[in-house]
Chain A
Amino acid sequence: MTVHHIVGASVPRKEGWDKVTGAARYVDDMTLPGMLYGATVRSSAPRGTIKNISFASGVDWNDFVIVTAKDIPGKNCIALILDDQPCLASETVNHPEEPILLLAHADRHKLRKAVEAVSIEYEPLPPVQTMEESEQQSTIIWGTDNTFKSYLVEKGNVDSVWKEAAHIVEGEYFTGAQEQLYIENNGVIAAFEPESGVTVWGSLQCPYYVHKALMALCGLTEEKVRVVQMETGGAFGGKEEYPSMIAGHAALLAIKSGKPVKIIYDRMEDMVATTKRHPSRTRHRTAVSKEGKILGGEIEFTIDGGAYATLSSVVLSRGTIHAGGPYYWPSVRIRTKAVATNTPPHGAFRGFGAPQSLFAMERHMDRIAQVVGISPVEIRRRNFLKPGQTTTTQQVIREEIDLNHLLDRALELSDYAAKKKRFAEENKTGPLKKGIGIAAFLHGAGFTGSGERYLNSLVGVEADADGNVRVLVSSAEFGQGTNTVLCQIAAEELSLPYESVAIAQPDTTVVPNSGPTVASRTAMIVGKLVQSAAKGIKQTLTKTGVLGDEYTAEQFRAACREYIAARGALKSYARYEAPGDVFWDDEKYRGEAYAAFAWAVYVAEVTVDLTTYSVTVDDFVALQEVGKVLNPVLAAGQITGGVAQGIGFALYEKVVWQNGRMINNQMTNYIMPTSVDLPPIRVFFEELGNVHGAHGAKGIGELPMDGPAPAIVNAVDDATGVPFRSIPLLPEDLFEALRRESLEQDALSSARGTL
Chain B
Amino acid sequence: MNPSPETGAKCEVLFTVNGEAKKVLAYPMERLLDVLRHDLKLTGTKEGCGEGECGSCSVLLDGMLVNSCLVPVAQASGASIVTIEGISAHALMRPLQESFLGCGGAQCGICTPGMILAALHLLEKKPEPTLADIQEGLAGNLCRCTGYMQIFEAVARTARRSVAE
Measured CB to CB, the residues of A under 8 A from B are 10, 12-13, 15-26, 28-29, 39, 108-113, 115, 180-185, 231-236, 266-269, 478-481, 633-634, 636-637, 640-645, 666-668, 672-676, 678, 680-681
Contacts and interface: CB of A to CB of B under 8 A. Distances in A.
Contacts of B139: 674-676
B144 A22 contact: no
Contacts of A678: 147-149
B146 A672 contact: no
A640 B47 contact: no
B141 interface: yes
B19 interface: no
A412 B88 CA distance: 45
Interface string B36-60: 0100000111111111011010000
B6 A110 contact: yes
A19 B85 contact: no
B28 interface: no
Contact of B106 (A16, A235, A267, A640): A16
Interface in B69-104: 83-85, 88, 97, 100-104
A668 B142 CA distance: 12
A13 B108 contact: no
A22 B83 contact: yes
Contacts of A182: 108, 110, 144
A457 to B, nearest CB: 23
Nearest to B118: A675
Contacts of B112: 19-20, 22
Contact of B107 (A18, A26, A267, A637): A637
Interface in B127-152: 134-136, 138-139, 141-152
Contacts, number: 184
Nearest to B102: A12
Contacts of B44: 21-23
A643 B46 contact: no
A183 B107 contact: no
A58 to B, nearest CB: 13
A637 B150 contact: yes
A24 B106 CA distance: 12
Contacts of A645: 144, 147
Contact of B109 (A12, A24, A28): A24
Nearest to B152: A675
B108 A643 contact: no
Nearest to B112: A19
Contacts of A39: 1
B47 A667 contact: no
A645 to B, nearest CB: 7
A636 B43 contact: no
A388 to B, nearest CB: 36
A181 B144 contact: yes
Nearest to B53: A667
Given A39-B1, A667-B53, A183 B150 contact: no
B108 A666 contact: no
Contacts of A236: 144
A113 B54 CA distance: 26
Contact of A637 (B49, B85, B104, B109): B104
A740 B3 CA distance: 43
Given A20-B101, A637-B145, A480 B1 contact: no
6 contacts: A28-B47, A266-B1, A640-B147, A641-B147, A675-B135, A675-B139
B107 A479 contact: yes
A15 B84 CA distance: 17
A279 B142 CA distance: 25
Nearest to B113: A22
Contacts of A235: 108
Given A12-B101, A21-B44, A667-B53, A111 B107 contact: no
A608 to B, nearest CB: 21
A22 B84 CA distance: 6
Interface in B7-53: 27, 37, 43-51, 53
Given A109-B6, A267-B51, A640-B149, A233 B110 contact: yes
Contact of A21 (B88, B104, B149): B88
Contact of B49 (A115, A180, A480, A666): A666
Contacts of B135: 675-676
A267 B49 contact: yes
A711 to B, nearest CB: 15
Contacts of A637: 104, 107, 145-147, 150
Nearest to B6: A109
A233 B100 CA distance: 16
A29 B43 contact: yes
Given A183-B144, A672-B142, A108 B4 contact: yes
B149 A681 contact: yes
Contacts of A267: 48-51
A478 B3 contact: no
A111 B2 CA distance: 11
Contact of A676 (B53, B108, B136): B136
A667 B49 contact: yes
Contacts of A668: 51, 53
B66 interface: no
A184 B108 contact: yes
A35 to B, nearest CB: 12
B123 interface: no
B156 interface: no
Contact of B1 (A111, A479, A681): A111
A232 B151 CA distance: 19
Contact of B46 (A111, A113, A183, A644): A183
Nearest to B103: A633
B111 interface: yes
Of B27, B43, B108, B116, chain A has the most CB atoms within 10 Å of the CB of B108
Contact of B110 (A111, A234, A266, A640): A234
Nearest to A637: B104
A675 B84 contact: no
A231 B112 CA distance: 13
Of B3, B103, B107, B113, chain A has the most CB atoms within 10 Å of the CB of B107
Given A182-B144, A675-B152, A480 B54 contact: no
Contacts of B143: 183, 675
Contacts of A115: 1
B103 A20 contact: no
Contacts of A20: 97, 100-101, 106, 109, 112, 116
Of A20, A24, A269, A637, chain B has the most CB atoms within 10 Å of the CB of A20
Given A16-B101, A112-B3, A480 B107 contact: yes
Nearest to A25: B43
A666 to B, nearest CB: 6
Contacts of B48: 183-185, 267, 667
